[in-house]
Amino acid sequence: MKHEAKALLGFSIGQETAKGEVLYKDIELAAKLYGSITLVAGDTLQRFTKLITDKCTLEEAYKKALLEGDAFLEEAGKICSALDLQCHIIRWDELIARPEFADKKQQIEVLYTNNINGYKKAVRDTVGKFIRRYQDKGLIPAKDAKAAFDICLEYVKEECAVFLMLEGQYTHLQYHYPLGAAIEHICSLANFETVEAAKLHKQLAKPAAPMMHTTFFKLASSPPSSPENMIVDTFLTMFKGQLDTFFNTPLPAVAKQSALTQLDQYLHSKSLEKEFSFCST
């Protein structure tokens, strides 16, 4: 059920996916899917990226990331107010300052060093994709690739440690674009269901399959073979077929449940003689 789903919304601060219309739509989507949402501002996590792209010192990279985080908090706060949402926003420094973070970081190091369940490969694949993407943009010269790889490796380990630390506190982790293999691996360990907002936006924007609109009345005194009940049977057969199609779509479970909850409310509003419940569990 929607009210039972507690989601983390992760944002790569400074990226286009963490500002403007994209940010608004992702928060709006989350409000429809989950009972409660917490925004994770990965602001100072971006100090690693800035070390690579801005050719600056660690102190300078940290300050730049912090300023972008300030801007994100202001914009996200306005969006939550506009949507009348009670959103909790956590900054990255708050997370890595928690006492349990050090233990989770050590656990990540053990997973990586011993390649437990293929974690080391997942991490290196994630880092490799980042390096290639930034090389294609001309941001990482070939001579700097090794240093950039090592910096990015620390980025991924820190990110993984934070989400592992949050195990049991949330049910879903939503990002705009697909998570890397490393984070998917950790989400599996932490029992998070991952949600790709960009993909979900596209799926929800697709036109629904055409549905026959039939007016019907089921009279209590009508025999089973009456024309009225034959209309009802036809409608229900069609309706069940539409539901089967819906259930077979590749939407996250939480999206399907949200839709069914809204359908339940709609059916109750149309009930004339007695209340009935659809998918009430």
Strands of 133-184 (E only): list them.
172-175
d(CA 27, CA 44): 21
Pairing of strands 88-91, 36-41: parallel
Closest CA to 103 of 155, 160, 161: 161
CA gap 236, 205 in Å, rounded: 26
Work out whether strand 6-11 and strand 172-175 pair parallel, antiparallel, or are unpaired: parallel
Per-residue model confidence (pLDDT) at position 208: 52
Which of the four pLDDT bands, split at 50, 70 and 90, describes residue 265?
Answer: low
- Amino acid, single-letter form, for residue 243: L
Element (H, E) at 242: helix 227-247
pLDDT, position 207: 65
Q: Is the pLDDT of residue 226 over 50?
A: no
- Most confident range, picked from 76-80, 231-235, 253-257: 76-80
**Mean local confidence (pLDDT), 196-219:** 62
Q: Tell me how far apart the alpha carbons of residues 63 and 59 are, in angstroms, rounded to a whole number.
A: 6
For the ranges 109-113, 227-231, 247-251, the lowest mean pLDDT is seen at 227-231
- Arithmetic mean of pLDDT over the chain: 83
- pLDDT for position 205: 79
Q: What is the mean pLDDT of residues 266-272?
A: 60
Residue 178 has pLDDT above 90, yes or no: no
* Residue 231, pLDDT above cutoff 90: no
Yes or no: say if 162 and 187 are a contact pair by the CB < 8 Å rule: no
Tokens of 183: 């984070």
Q: What is the pLDDT of residues 2-59, one digit of tens each?
A: 557 899 999 999 889 899 999 999 999 999 899 899 999 999 999 999 999 998 999 9
Q: Where are the beta strands (DSSP E) in 163-213?
A: 172-175, 193-196
List Cα–Cα distances, 86 to 20, 58, 80, 176, 223, in angstroms.
Answer: 19, 35, 7, 21, 52
Output the pLDDT for position 263: 72
**Residue 245 pLDDT exceeds 80:** no
Q: Please compute the mean of the pLDDT values over residues 103-116 and round it to a whole number.
A: 97
Query: Which neighbouring-strand residues pair with 9?
Result: 39, 174
The reported pLDDT for the residue numbered 218 is 39
Query: Which pLDDT belongs to residue 254?
Result: 66
* CB distance 27 to 114 below 8 Å: no
198 pLDDT more than 70: yes
